[in-house]
Structure 1
């Protein structure tokens, strides 16, 4: 941590968590907190809670939690220092200049240095594209009808034919072998030496949403294989969590995003004015990518290749998009294969029309299903309606399901009631066919995951203490941090009690900063977000508090009894156990 603790706390305090998270997530006031859809996992019912009083967030669905600093780190994929600098700038807080020696600079932040290496590589590839050696690659791009403006906009480049060209350049810049190897740009072998990952390829820098180069894609010049090659996974590059072109598409004024398959499709669409196009990175579309899109839009238009492989990819992507809460539509580009070919042949105006005519994703699925059956054959047609009926069960709400049943029945000339009965038949089979053993197993697993009474009591008391600090004085001679036997809970309780003793106040959000791992931060946030029953009268609250305190103290004394080392200590514990029966805390 390069900045003083007091400065970090000032930055946290001057960035209200409700304001900050509210700029990313739509929040609604619910009681004393704000609720919204969690930006870190797919959900349809809001379970993401933000507390202005505690200056903390916690998702009851996936368990993430923390303060405003951890939110920015997780959402923007920043490290701690990057998050501090971002929030300082947002709040108008000046940060002191920190000077590092060359050695300290190398050790300061490995992730930042990886980003630095990628940025240098991108600059180098661009210079090579503009050189005489890069003329074949530049000709390839101009033959694909890309303008100089779009080449600059996407930072396109060229990797030379020499197998260690980039390696030698980066070594001259002072980057060490270990870093270059971790960047994925270079392979280093004791026997074979150092070799560039990319050579003789048109280079496509891959940027995150903050315009930082995190990886590369390379298209081979000539007939070499593989045709396209991506950077391997690194500490800054995860294919499943990023989308090509999203850094530009996210600031588009359009209220939807076009999802394509390849780099050239994205670039061609941007050049034609569709600056809201993105593509997955050489792998199947993932739920993490869908959640990423959900941050910026509610509607996605699929513009995958119109061939069989593209159709299958679209069919796989549709349920993933829906699960993330996104509306999906499919653009029909036939008779052309992809957006690049389509726009070159018919122009952007025709592509705009295809967007307007894009099919509802469910209708697209049914049309694909129809193409798989010979509708002139009664047996095949029957199979089609049976498979369609099963697909209609995806709509859980009866009204919505009936609307789709009516539309399908009208299109395929089948009686509404007949199709509805078929749908209900398959629906009842699913209910009746629930595997009882599986049901019992799931219930058993849920029971096993339930926290035992002592763990839950510790969480509830920690939550209660920050919501009503007057309790500190009431439990002063009964409960101490030593009564919290879970290691993490003990650390948190110790810091909380110290805060109260020093300032007669508690700041739970400040405690988060003392834990480095995301898992610990999530757990600490959950300690302060345990549900307390609302609507209890004073007598009920008093009874609940006494039960919680007794449970914690009893477990603590039992633990001490098992580990007592002399008779005097044991006698003291037995005396306290006897007094515990008479314990009563008055509110």
Structure 2
């Protein structure tokens, strides 16, 4: 959450013309009512990055990046939202007033700042030790692993001394109190006294996406155990939402991420020119980490170890990515164990070839499944094909299912028509099993009038028809009265869409003027800001591409779909015998009839 009220955020935004702000970093040329330039968020040769001075927003028609001056500072200068507000206020000569924190909020913020400062000081100390006489053996280890000075600096690599209280004494001299040091995760406090958690280890600072040190990983120098040790979770370090190397990978222009298993894999790939590599801190990949990745890219390569454990990790990761709308591909590194070993043995060019030849996730899954069957035996081959059919049923879209059916049949020499028939049979059986559950998906909570903000369905699952309808209102404010005659904000999907509807409703009721940039900036989470930016850019662009003589009809069709769904959800929340259902049916039919008679100008 930012510490500034909405009026302050709006004042700062209005004081910073988006064309001037972005023009300081990207050469822009006017074309019509907009300005265009090469997108700063992905590599391109022809300008597809558009800046709209009327809406005070930018949008790239190539990679989809969009937002206001705040999102530009967040994504281009790698700032948090509060940092962007402060930077733009300073640029405009505005003195900010922090919104009044409660004493508890102020205490928590100050405590967090101290914890981050302690981690930063520890990183500096470990780095200095690496380049002292005490760190000679560790520095030689890094050099032996082929790391350059530049790479070691980029990742802030260091060394923790062999003395068990070395860092503790250093931070105490710097003035840090035990009540803070206890919660840094860097020390063990018990009846024997205080000991450093890391000693005689090669140190790998773990940074958040804004390059702030939040924890450490350490590899023991010698034969001690455990070989690798990570900081425990703290108030500032949440392992389930942290990725090693993200602070660098988020700046990559490659457009994809490479997901590895360990620190050295990430570092070796970055040094080899693959600056989009990240790792999940040696732990199993979590849904939180997948969600973080999805904010930056929908294109992911899995580069796990080539042994059995790596294969299992890839098989576990695939459905997690698929749930977030990501189609992962598998990089095969055999006969080498991991990316670090691969790069050292045959170099970056060969690794790029493996990326180019990466296997589709589904073919990879089927290839691993095949290992469980002796396909020379007719019976086992039939069972293998039945399992394939079950997995193909996981593709809900018919076109996608057909494409994967064709691909897997070609790869594994299976008659296509026989597999299509088997898939249909399997899908029908699955529908029968799940129909009862499907009827009970809706709950009475759909009509909750409480105004939410932010959290809701993931960006990839927001209702498309509702998003398009909100885009219509943004593009054609004259349609506001029409839309909100039939719908109210609580009728929209809980989360981002409902919050956006509320903001639109408030703006139009109070001033009659639509301000998309202010709506985007009312959200604190960048993934929510991105969803709303797409509503005001990508969907509006689609509307503009609609032939003028078809726009009125397209609007009424969209409105009809959203209104019908709103009534259906209300009815599904009631018992079949509830007389209120009959009244809702009547209202629904009347509304749809009235919408069908609307005359909407095609402008």
TM-score with structure 2 setting the length: 0.63
- Does the residue aligned with 1:183 lie in a helix, a strand or coil? coil
Stretches of structure 2 lacking an aligned partner (at least 5 in a row) = 26-53, 58-67, 99-105, 453-469, 482-501, 533-551, 557-603
1:146 aligns with: 147
1:317 aligns with: 317
2:332 aligns with: 332
Which digits, 9 at most, give the CA deviation of each residue in 1:53-79, with x for residues without a partner?
Answer: 999xxxxxxxxxxx9989999999987
Which digits, 9 at most, give the CA deviation of each residue in 1:102-134, with x for residues without a partner?
Answer: xxx998622222221111111100111112221
The 3 A distance-change label for structure 1 pair 416 and 353 is same
Shift in Å, 1:20: 11
Give, in whole Å, the separation in 1 of the partners of 2:19 and 2:438: 40
Which digits, 9 at most, give the CA deviation of each residue in 1:409-447, with x for residues without a partner?
Answer: 2222221111111111111111011262x445433xx12
Give, in whole Å, the separation in 1 of the partners of 2:117 and 2:140: 29
Q: How does 1:382-531 map to 2 (within 5 A)?
A: 382-434=382-434, 436=436, 438-439=437-438, 441-443=440-442, 446-451=443-448
2:85 aligns with: 84
Q: How many residues align?
A: 443
Shift in Å, 1:310: 0.5
Give, in whole Å, the separation in 2 of the partners of 1:107 and 1:413: 62
Find out whether 1:111 has 2:119 as its counterpart: no
2:254 aligns with: 254
Q: How does 1:362-381 map to 2 (within 5 A)?
A: 362-381=362-381
The 3 A distance-change label for structure 1 pair 88 and 325 is farther
The 3 A distance-change label for structure 1 pair 409 and 97 is closer
Shift in Å, 1:266: 0.6
- Does the residue aligned with 2:328 lie in a helix, a strand or coil? strand
Which digits, 9 at most, give the CA deviation of each residue in 1:233-280, with x for residues without a partner?
Answer: 222221222211121122222122211110000111111121221111
Give, in whole Å, the separation in 2 of the partners of 1:255 and 1:335: 27
Shift in Å, 1:362: 1.0
> Is the 2:89–2:96 contact (alpha carbons within 8 Å) kept by the matching residues of 1?
no
User: Please, what is the CA RMSD of the aligned residues?
Assistant: 4.6
The 3 A distance-change label for structure 1 pair 389 and 294 is same
The 3 A distance-change label for structure 1 pair 2 and 355 is closer
1:220 aligns with: 220
- Does the residue aligned with 1:269 lie in a helix, a strand or coil? helix
Give, in whole Å, the separation in 1 of the partners of 2:337 and 2:403: 33
Q: How does 1:538-553 map to 2 (within 5 A)?
A: none
The 3 A distance-change label for structure 1 pair 181 and 333 is same
Which digits, 9 at most, give the CA deviation of each residue in 1:516-560, with x for residues without a partner?
Answer: 999xx99xx9xxxxxxxx9999xxxxxxxxxxxxxxxxxxxxxxx
Stretches of structure 1 lacking an aligned partner (at least 5 in a row) = 24-51, 56-66, 99-104, 457-462, 472-491, 526-533, 538-587
Shift in Å, 1:4: 9.9
Which digits, 9 at most, give the CA deviation of each residue in 1:356-394, with x for residues without a partner?
Answer: 111111111111111222222223222211111111112
Shift in Å, 1:12: 4.6
Give, in whole Å, the separation in 2 of the partners of 1:15 and 1:398: 48
> Is the 2:78–2:210 contact (alpha carbons within 8 Å) kept by the matching residues of 1?
no
1:137 aligns with: 138
> Is the 2:207–2:214 contact (alpha carbons within 8 Å) kept by the matching residues of 1?
yes
> Is the 1:106–1:113 contact (alpha carbons within 8 Å) kept by the matching residues of 2?
no
The 3 A distance-change label for structure 1 pair 18 and 435 is farther
The 3 A distance-change label for structure 1 pair 434 and 85 is same
Shift in Å, 1:153: 1.6
The 3 A distance-change label for structure 1 pair 269 and 70 is closer
Give, in whole Å, the separation in 1 of the partners of 2:82 and 2:448: 35
Which digits, 9 at most, give the CA deviation of each residue in 1:439-491, with x for residues without a partner?
Answer: 45433xx1245326x999xxxxxx99xx99xx9xxxxxxxxxxxxxxxxxxxx
Give, in whole Å, the separation in 1 of the partners of 2:439 and 2:4: 53
2:204 aligns with: 204
> Is the 2:16–2:92 contact (alpha carbons within 8 Å) kept by the matching residues of 1?
no
Q: How does 1:271-310 map to 2 (within 5 A)?
A: 271-310=271-310
> Is the 1:54–1:507 contact (alpha carbons within 8 Å) kept by the matching residues of 2?
no
Shift in Å, 1:507: 9.9
Find out whether 1:121 has 2:122 as its counterpart: yes
Give, in whole Å, the separation in 1 of the partners of 2:108 and 2:286: 34
Shift in Å, 1:88: 2.7
Considering Cα pairs closer than 8 Å and 6+ residues apart, tell me whether 1 or 2 has the greater RCO: 1
Shift in Å, 1:208: 1.7
Give, in whole Å, the separation in 2 of the partners of 1:4 and 1:403: 50
Shift in Å, 1:282: 2.3
2:265 aligns with: 265
2:536 aligns with: none
- Does the residue aligned with 1:167 lie in a helix, a strand or coil? helix
Higher Cα Rg, which structure: 1
- Does the residue aligned with 1:133 lie in a helix, a strand or coil? helix
Q: How does 1:14-53 map to 2 (within 5 A)?
A: 14=15
1:350 aligns with: 350
Shift in Å, 1:173: 0.6
The 3 A distance-change label for structure 1 pair 84 and 187 is farther
Give, in whole Å, the separation in 2 of the partners of 1:411 and 1:384: 14
> Is the 2:12–2:94 contact (alpha carbons within 8 Å) kept by the matching residues of 1?
no
Shift in Å, 1:86: 4.0
Shift in Å, 1:298: 2.7
> Is the 1:164–1:195 contact (alpha carbons within 8 Å) kept by the matching residues of 2?
yes
Shift in Å, 1:217: 0.9
The 3 A distance-change label for structure 1 pair 324 and 4 is closer
1:571 aligns with: none
- Does the residue aligned with 1:226 lie in a helix, a strand or coil? coil
Give, in whole Å, the separation in 1 of the partners of 2:20 and 2:312: 42
> Is the 1:287–1:324 contact (alpha carbons within 8 Å) kept by the matching residues of 2?
no
> Is the 2:328–2:361 contact (alpha carbons within 8 Å) kept by the matching residues of 1?
yes
